[in-house]
């Protein structure tokens, strides 16, 4: 119970689902060989940590922020600039991380101290403005960030696909630098998630939940709500920057579309809502379902459309045409919100009582 910080799933079905996802991600290089499945698994790991850090703000503290992708981008660009400038060395990776994480936390501190005293909607607008300004700045500083083209860079030899760790295949799969990179991403994301799980179940986390429920009562009890909100904002920013650094290491590229796009912010918000706000475990279920739908829903609809056409069924081939996958993704999201207003985890926990 120590890794879970005294917060078990409290539902047999939820526990089985979480265990299945964790085991699938743990053995993904061997269970799902191929470039695309491994990319999907790595993206799920990264977005679990990213969504969990945002859930600390939205679900546990009641803060609506649109600057989370900015912190994610700071981590990505920190790694990219360090490896691009210094070359594929481990000290460059260390430098990028040690600069990016404190920078993200410091920026979150400044934003929090100047903005968290205002009402929630105004704080959300301020974070949106700051994030937009940062994205424009990153695009214009082409000498540093590569501009709209981004930065491609080389990683240390141990993490390169051409590096072979074991001469013979393991379970029929070659263990290369790409496999090691995946397990680096998996281990770091697992550590970040467990850290956040411990934080929300600590006395500090209980105070955050009290502030979310009734900030006036929490302040009357002697808690400094601005300080607690600012600390939560800094911690979430540092975790988001760490997730961005892992994403850059995995892709070996950083650009506005992969690290600063507002679409990423919407994806994070959808994942948290689908999984369940204020549950932390919702990040695991939400990220897994959302990323799988993003990558495989179109192919699944193509198969359904072809099957319906072969069966001579009217309307269904056009209805399930692969080009309409975004429409059905929206329908699935609406259905999740309607049938699971507390998120999937909230529904499963309620059913498990």
Structure tokens given for 345: 């985890």
Q: 202 pLDDT exceeds 80?
A: yes
pLDDT value, residue 291? 94
Residue from 293, 290, 320 nearest 305 by CA: 320
Q: Report pLDDT digits (tens) over 12-65.
A: 899 999 999 999 999 999 888 888 999 999 999 999 999 999 999 999 998 888
| Closest-CA residue to 245 (of 102, 52, 341, 125) | 102
Instruction: Please say if the pLDDT value at position 353 is more than 50.
Output: no
Which domains does the chain possess? 12-351 (1.10.3470)
Q: How does residue 175 score in pLDDT terms, banded at 50, 70 and 90?
A: confident
Using CB atoms within 10 Å of the CB of residue 152, give its burial: 0 to 12 exposed, 13 to 18 middle, 19+ buried.
Answer: middle
Mean pLDDT (whole number) for 60-75? 92
Confidence of residue 83 (pLDDT cuts 50, 70, 90): very high
Percent of the chain beyond pLDDT 90?
50
Q: State pLDDT tens for residues 109-119.
A: 998 887 776 66
Residues pairing with 84 in the sheet: none
- CA-based Rg of the chain, rounded to a whole angstrom? 21
Q: Widest CA span of the chain, in angstroms?
A: 69
List phi, psi (to 5°) of 151. -125, 125
Please check whether residue 285 is in contact with residue 11, taking contact to mean a CB–CB distance below 8 angstroms.
no
- pTM of the shown model: 0.92
Residue 158 has pLDDT above 70, yes or no: yes
pLDDT in tens, 230-244: 999 999 999 999 999
Distance of alpha carbon 190 from alpha carbon 184, whole angstroms: 10
For 264, other C-beta atoms within 10 Å of its C-beta total 20
Contacts of 102 (CB under 8 A, 6+ apart): 238
Q: Indicate the DSSP class of residue 152.
A: E
Question: With bands split at pLDDT 50, 70 and 90, how would you rate the model's confidence at 101?
Answer: very high
Confidence class of residue 171 from pLDDT cuts 50, 70 and 90? low
Q: DSSP letters of 260-290?
A: T-HHHHHHHHHHHHHH-TT-STHHHHHHHHH
Q: What is the mean pLDDT of the chain?
A: 88
Of the pLDDT bands very low, low, confident and very high (cuts 50, 70, 90), residue 193 is: very high
């Amino acid at each position: 119970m120590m890794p879970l910080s005294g917060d078990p799933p409290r539902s047999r079905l939820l526990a089985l689902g979480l265990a299945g996802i964790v085991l699938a991600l743990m053995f993904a290089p061997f269970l799902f060989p191929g470039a695309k499945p491994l990319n999907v698994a790595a993206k799920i790991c990264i977005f679990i940590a990213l969504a969990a850090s945002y859930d600390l703000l939205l679900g546990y503290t009641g803060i609506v922020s649109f600057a989370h992708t900015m912190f994610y981008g700071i981590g990505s660009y920190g790694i990219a600039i360090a490896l691009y400038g210094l070359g594929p060395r481990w000290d460059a990776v260390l430098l990028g991380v040690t600069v990016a994480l404190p920078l993200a936390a410091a920026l979150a501190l400044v934003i929090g101290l100047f903005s968290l005293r205002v009402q929630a909607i105004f704080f959300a607008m301020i974070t949106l403005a700051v994030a937009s300004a940062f994205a424009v700045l990153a695009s214009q500083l082409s000498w540093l960030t590569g501009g709209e083209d981004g930065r491609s860079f080389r990683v240390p030899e141990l993490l390169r696909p051409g590096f072979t760790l074991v001469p013979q295949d393991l379970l029929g799969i070659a263990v290369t630098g790409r496999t090691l990179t995946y397990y680096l991403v998996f281990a770091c994301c697992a550590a970040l998630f467990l850290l956040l799980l411990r934080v929300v179940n600590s006395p500090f986390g209980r105070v955050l939940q009290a502030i979310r429920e009734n900030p006036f009562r929490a302040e009357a009890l002697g808690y400094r709500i601005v300080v607690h909100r600012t600390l939560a904002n800094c911690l979430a920013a540092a975790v988001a920057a760490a997730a961005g650094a892992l994403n850059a290491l995995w892709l070996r590229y950083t650009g506005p579309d992969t690290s600063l796009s507002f679409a990423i912010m919407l994806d994070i918000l959808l994942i948290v809502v689908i999984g369940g706000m204020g549950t932390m475990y919702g990040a695991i279920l939400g990220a897994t379902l959302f990323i799988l739908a993003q990558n495989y829903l179109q192919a699944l609809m193509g198969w359904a459309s072809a099957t319906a056409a072969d069966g001579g069924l009217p309307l269904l081939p056009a209805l399930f045409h692969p080009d309409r996958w975004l429409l059905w993704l929206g329908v699935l999201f609406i259905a999740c919100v309607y049938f699971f207003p507390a998120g999937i985890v909230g529904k499963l926990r309620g059913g498990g009582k």
